[in-house]
A and B are shown apart, each in its own frame.
Chain A
C-alpha cells in the first residue's frame, strides 16, 4: 500500500513548501503533490516538466439572455448568494446552483460550464509530481485538491512508488480537509509565534477530528525559544511527537531565490541537517 503524508500548518507562510521541496530531494520512489491549488509554489523549487494537462470543470455559472427576460425579478428573489442585483448576474458571486434558471418562467437563464482550473501530471528530477492551478477567484478548490490526490495515487501505482507527500494549503477549511482526508500522517509545521501556536492548535484539532495521526515540527525555532518550549510542552501533554526543530537561517530564502530547496542548495547547513533528522523521525512513524 502506498503511504501518504500531508504537510500542513494552519497558519500560512510557516515553511511548508520549503520543507516539502527538501523532502523531495531526500526521498526516492515518492510522488510529490502540491495541494495548495490557489497559491501553488512547490513548482518553483521542483521545476516540473508538465507531461499531461487536464481541464478541471467543476462549476457552472448562470448566464442571462436579456432579450428573453421579462424582468419579473424571481431570480433575484431566490438567489441566496446575492449574485443577482437589479437583474444583472455577477459571475464572481454566482455559485452555479441553478435556482435562478429553475425559477425563471421564460427560460431566460442558462447554466454554463466553466473551466475552474487545470490539473497537471509532471516529472521532476526527483520523480513524479501531481499539481494543479485553480483559476483566480474560483471556488471548488477542495474538488481540485481531490483530483490532484487521485492523480498522485494513479502515478504511485503505475510507477511503483511507496510514498505520496502532499504539500497542503494554509487554513483548516475545504481544501485542507480535502488534502488530509484518508492520509496516514499529518505533519504540522509551526513557527514559534503566538499566532503560529494558535493556528497549530486548530490544525491539530482538525487532524484529531478526522482521526489522522499527527506529528509537529517547529520551524525557525530560535526566533522565540520561549514559545518553542511552549509548543513542545503543549505537544507533550497532548501526546503529539515533536519530530524536529529547524533553526532560522536566511540561507533558506537564498535557496528559494536560486530556485532550489535548501537541502540541494546547501546540504551541509544546519537547516539541512535538521530537516534530514526530522525526516528520519517522521519515517519511523509510518
Chain B
C-alpha cells in the first residue's frame, strides 16, 4: 500500500505526520519527495548506507555537423535551444530531456549528455527505511528527481510518501499511483484555501483521501465544515500544543515522546 501525505500549503505538518506515522507502523518505507527542502531525515536521524547521484540528459550540439537549420529550437517546447546564424545556444536548466531535438535534427548533430541535478540518499532509523532526494541548489526541476526517489519503492512494504507543498507538477509526480492520500490541513483561512485546491487535484487524479487537522484549536471551524460538505473523512486531529511544537523544533518526532499517539496512527491505517 502506498500512502502519500500532502497539504498544498507549506508548513502544515506533512513531515510530522509522515514520520510519526512511519514510526507507528511495522515494515515501513518512508520516501521524502520534498526534494527541494527534504526534512524527514532531520526528524529520523537515519544511518545513511547509500548515496547516489541523479542525472538528467541535455543536448550537446556538434558544431562540425550542425548547419544551423533551426529545426531543434523550433521543436523544443521549453525554449532550451536557441539557434543563431552561426551558433547554437543550449540552456540545460530549461531542458526537460524529452529527446525531441536529437530526433528532429536532420544532420545527426545532437547527442545527449548527462548532468547531475541532485542526490538520492538511503538510510535506516528505528526500523524505518528512509529514501530521500536532495535537489542541487540552483537546479530548477524537481520532478525528474522525484521520479527517481519513487523508483526505490518496495512493494512488500507499507510505503509512506512525504510530498512537497504546492499543488503543481511536483505534487502530481509525488502522489501519482498512490492508493491513498492523507491531507494535512491547518484550521485557518490559508489552510482551508490551499486544502480546497489540493482536494481538486486529488479528485482529478482519482486518489481517495482523508484529512488530518493539525494545530487543532487554532483558527476557526471552516475546514471542518468544508470536509463535511465535501464528504472528505476526518482521520485525526492533532491539537495545537506547545509540547508538540517544542519537540518538533528540536527535531524529535512526538510519537517517540508520547507513545499513546502510535495507536492513533495505526488506527488510521486500519480505517483506510
Contacts and interface: CB of A to CB of B under 8 A. Distances in A.
Specify whether A and B are partners: yes
B167 A137 contact: yes
A78 B249 contact: no
B170 interface: yes
A224 B10 contact: no
A11 B166 CA distance: 12
Interface in A72-126: 78, 80-82, 92-93, 95-99, 102-103
B70 interface: no
Nearest to A258: B189
Interface string A182-216: 00000000011111101100100110011000000
B11 A13 contact: yes
Interface string B159-182: 000001111111110001000000
Interface stretch (B122-130, B196-204, B228-236): B196-204
B77 A60 contact: yes
Given A38-B167, A142-B140, A136 B204 contact: yes
A205 B248 CA distance: 24
Contacts of B135: 172-173
A29 B229 CA distance: 42
A57 to B, nearest CB: 12
Contact of B189 (A137, A141, A259): A259
Given A98-B75, A192-B249, A256-B189, A137 B168 contact: yes
A231 to B, nearest CB: 12
Interface residues of A, number: 64
A137 B104 contact: no
A169 interface: yes
Given A13-B12, A98-B100, A192-B249, A256 B188 contact: yes
Identify the interface centre among A12, A36, A227: most chain B CB within 10 Å of its CB: A12
B268 interface: no
Nearest to B200: A136
Contacts of B10: 9, 11-14, 39, 170
Given A12-B165, A192-B249, A223-B245, A253 B219 contact: yes
Contacts of A177: 138, 140
A80 B37 contact: no
Contact of B166 (A170, A192, A227): A170
Nearest to B147: A82
Contacts of A136: 167, 197-198, 200-201, 204
Interface in B144-167: 147, 164-167
Interface stretch (B23-31, B82-90, B91-99, B258-266): B91-99
B114 interface: no
Nearest to A228: B249
Given A39-B193, A95-B98, A174-B141, 16 more contacts: A12-B12, A13-B186, A41-B193, A44-B190, A82-B147, A92-B176, A134-B168, A137-B169, A137-B205, A169-B166, A172-B37, A173-B36, A173-B135, A176-B36, A206-B138, A227-B250
Interface of B: 8-12, 15, 34, 36-37, 39, 42-43, 75, 77-78, 96-100, 103-104, 135, 137-143, 147, 164-172, 176, 186, 188-190, 193-194, 197-198, 200-201, 204-205, 218-220, 245-246, 248-251
Across the A-B interface, give the 6 residue pairs with the lowest CB-CB distance, nearest first: A12-B10, A13-B11, A97-B98, A171-B36, A194-B251, A224-B249
11 contacts: A13-B12, A41-B193, A60-B77, A134-B167, A170-B165, A174-B140, A194-B42, A194-B251, A198-B39, A257-B189, A257-B219
